[in-house]
Amino acid sequence: MRTKALLIAAAALAAGVVTSQAQVYSQNIVGYVNSVVPFGYSVQSAPFDAANGNSATNIVINNPVSGPGTGPLDGAYLYVWGGSSFAVYTFDSTQPTGFADAGDNYATNAPVLNPGTAFYINNGVGAYTNTYVGTVHIGSGTYPGTSTNVIGATQVYTFISPVIPVGGGLTSVCGFTNVLSAGPGTGNLDGDYVNVPAITNGVIHGYIQYTVDSTQPTGYADPSDSFAVPEPQIPVAGGFLFNNTLGTSYNWIQTLGQ
Q: Which amino acid is at 55?
A: S
In the prediction, which pLDDT does 41 show? 97
User: Measured on CA atoms in the order 182, 215, 238, 153, is the torsion positive or negative?
Assistant: negative
In the prediction, which pLDDT does 238 show? 94
The pairing of beta strand 99-100 with beta strand 40-45: unpaired
Whether 174 and 236 have beta carbons less than 8 Å apart is answered as no
Between CA 163 and CA 175 the distance in angstroms is 10
For residue 107, which of 115, 116, 96 has the smallest C-alpha distance?
96
The pairing of beta strand 146-151 with beta strand 86-91: unpaired
DSSP E strands: which ranges in the chain?
30-37, 40-45, 77-81, 86-91, 99-100, 118-123, 128-135, 146-151, 157-160, 168-169, 193-200, 203-212, 220-221, 233-234, 240-243, 250-255
pLDDT, block means (10 residues), the chain with 258 residues: 38 32 51 90 88 53 76 93 92 92 95 89 92 79 69 80 92 92 89 96 96 97 98 95 85 77
Q: What is the DSSP letter of 77?
A: E
In the prediction, which pLDDT does 145 show? 65
- pTM as predicted: 0.83
Residue 57 φ then ψ, to 5°: -110, 15
In the prediction, which pLDDT does 155 show? 62
Whether 230 and 216 have beta carbons less than 8 Å apart is answered as no
Domain locations in the chain as residue ranges: 38-127, 146-255
